[in-house]
Structure 1
Amino acid sequence: MDLWFGLITGVLFGVLLQRCEVIRYDRQLGALRLRDMTIVKFMLSTVVVGMIGVHLLLDLGLVKLSVKAAVLGGVIPGGLIFGLGWGLAGYCPGTAAGALGEGRLDALWAILGMLVGAGLYAEAYPALKAGLLTWGDYGKITLPQVLGLNHWPIIAVITLGALLLFRWFEKKGL
């Protein structure tokens, strides 16, 4: 049942990507050039909604958090590689799948690049595990733990910040 739920939510997310036009090339390019914040607004909206939903379910005892360790040796190079791939291909993983679903065959290059990158990472993982992936290991921490606060005030501040940022984007025509 979990696999069906994952498939259904993935399809719904893809539909939202398409309906919000975030898989369009001009939107991707605009985001990379900081001239069109449609993708930023979409992703920040999903983060805020997801954050509220997960913590509500957590407080109701319906889910448990599975926090990944904060390892800067993995996050920083991974983010740089992700950004480089997005800049070169014009797609991130979600938008590449959505674009392929729309019939845009150029998205196959992005998906092929992701598969090659995943394969290279799998091959290099044993060496990385003993080296790079140990640098800056802060363990399984969360922002509320670091700040020593309940998660709801942090969620409120992030939500308010997102709303103010959205308003600023709109004033600037972004």
Structure 2
Amino acid sequence: MILIYGLITGILFGFFLQRARVIRFDKQVGALMLKDMTIAKFMFTAILVAMVGLYFMDDLGLIQVAGRELILGAIIPGGALFGIGWALIGYCPGTGWAALGEGRIDAFFGLLGVFAGGFVYSEVYPFLRDTLFTWGNMGSPTIPEALGVNHWFIIVPLIVVVALAFRWLEKINL
């Protein structure tokens, strides 16, 4: 059943990616050049909706929200590599799959890079695990845990700040 939920969620996410037009190459390049905030607005909306839903289910006792390990030695180079790949190809992996689904052949080559990168990563993982992935381990706190406050004291102000930021971005045509 979990696979069915994953399939449904993936289809819905792909639908919304396409509907928001964030899989268009010009939107991707505009985001990288900070000239079009459509992708940032789409992703922040998805993150906020997920955050509210997850913490609400946590409050109901249906799930347990836990932080993931924050390892700077993995996050910094991984984020840089992700950004370089996005800049070179014009798609991130998620939007690449959606663009390929629309028939955009250029996304195919980017996705080949994803698979090649995954293969290389699997080959060097033992080395990375014992070296780079040991640097800067900050544990696995969530932001509310790190600050020692109830999660809603973070979520509600964050929603307000993001909504105001969206309004400002719309006002300046971004």
Please report the TM-score for the alignment, with normalisation by the length of structure 2: 0.98
Unpaired runs of at least 5, structure 2 = none
**Are 1:124 and 2:124 counterparts?**
yes
Which deviations, in whole Å up to 9, do the C-alpha atoms of 1:5-60 show, x marking residues without a partner? 10110010000000000000110111011010000000000011010000001110
Deviation at 1:161, TM superposition (A): 1.2
Deviation at 1:67, TM superposition (A): 2.7
In the aligned structure 2, how far is the partner of 1:10 from the partner of 1:169?
28
1:106 alignment partner in structure 2: 106
2:57 alignment partner in structure 1: 57
Unpaired runs of at least 5, structure 1 = none
In the aligned structure 1, how far is the partner of 2:127 from the partner of 2:61?
39
In the aligned structure 2, how far is the partner of 1:41 from the partner of 1:67?
24
In the aligned structure 2, how far is the partner of 1:135 from the partner of 1:158?
30
1:20 alignment partner in structure 2: 20
* More divergent stretch after superposition (87-96 vs 66-75): 66-75
Q: Residues 66 and 141 of structure 2 are in contact (CA less than 8 Å); yes or no, is this contact kept in structure 1?
A: no
Deviation at 1:160, TM superposition (A): 1.0
Amino acid at match of 2:38: T
Deviation at 1:65, TM superposition (A): 2.4
In the aligned structure 2, how far is the partner of 1:42 from the partner of 1:168?
15
In the aligned structure 2, how far is the partner of 1:19 from the partner of 1:55?
27
Alignment of 1:4-83 (within 5 A): 4-83=4-83
In the aligned structure 2, how far is the partner of 1:34 from the partner of 1:99?
21
Runs of at least 4 residues of structure 1 off by over 6 A? Answer: none
